[in-house]
Copies of this chain bind each other. A is one copy, B any other.
Amino acid sequence: MAGKVFFSVSMSLDGFVAPESVPGGDVFGPGRQDDPQVRRWLAQWTELQQWVFPQRFFRENVGFGAGGEEGRDNDILRETFERTGASVMGKRMFDLGEQSWPEDAPFHTPVFVVTHTGRDPWERLGGTTFHFVNDGIERALDRAREAAGDRDVRIAGGGTTILEYLNAGLVDEFSIAVSPVLFGSGTRLFDGVDASRIALEPIRSEPSSRVTHLTYAVHRR
């Protein structure tokens, strides 16, 4: 049986999945933190993802060593990782991550990067290989499905790529961790959503001490 296509993101209460982008983009680059705009980006992004960092699974997965919290937030991170047989991501997210992921990148599966230019696969330690797909989002998804086998395909991000898949009717289900922060500006997850064609069916709503995890199935209407 084929797996599902899903995404799972942290969203501010006012609907943003990333702070307003910074000229130059490479917020994780060396010396970039001297720029006040970069510092502001990082502070907002850290607040949005706050619930993730103390979790045991996150710490293990990025190589911060043992220790960390266990509980529903931790379980959700682990379950999301374990169901994922392959990921798809946009070029902008890849560019940002290329500077910040450890050599042992945190995916440990094939990752298909939607891009406009060719590039040879980039193999990292620990089972992550980035494949660059320059013939459209459907082709990238097909390749990810194939690689995932009976596990699920995660549309990893960023916001623009997620929305392209959602509007194309290619997403089966998604989860949002609603963080208790307001951004005021940035990348809105649903900006440009084809609302008239998408119906949501609530699947689960799970509060933790830090965020609320909302899960919906996506239907056409």
Contact = CB atoms under 8 A, between A and B. Distances in A.
B13 A200 contact: yes
A190 B201 contact: no
A15 to B, nearest CB: 4
B194 A184 contact: yes
Contact of A15 (B15, B185, B216): B15
A99 B181 CA distance: 36
A210 interface: yes
Contacts of A18: none
Interface residues of A, number: 33
B15 A193 contact: no
Contacts of A198: 182
Nearest to A40: B196
Q: Count copies of this chain in the complex.
A: 2
Contacts of A190: 13-15, 182, 184
A200 B180 contact: yes
A153 interface: no
Nearest to A44: B195
A189 B13 CA distance: 10
A193 to B, nearest CB: 5
B178 A200 contact: no
A14 B193 contact: yes
A201 B47 CA distance: 13
Contacts of A216: 13, 180
7 contacts: A13-B176, A14-B188, A14-B190, A180-B202, A182-B198, A184-B196, A205-B212
Interface in A167-221: 176, 178, 180-185, 188-190, 192-196, 198, 200-202, 204-207, 209-212, 214, 216
A195 B13 contact: no
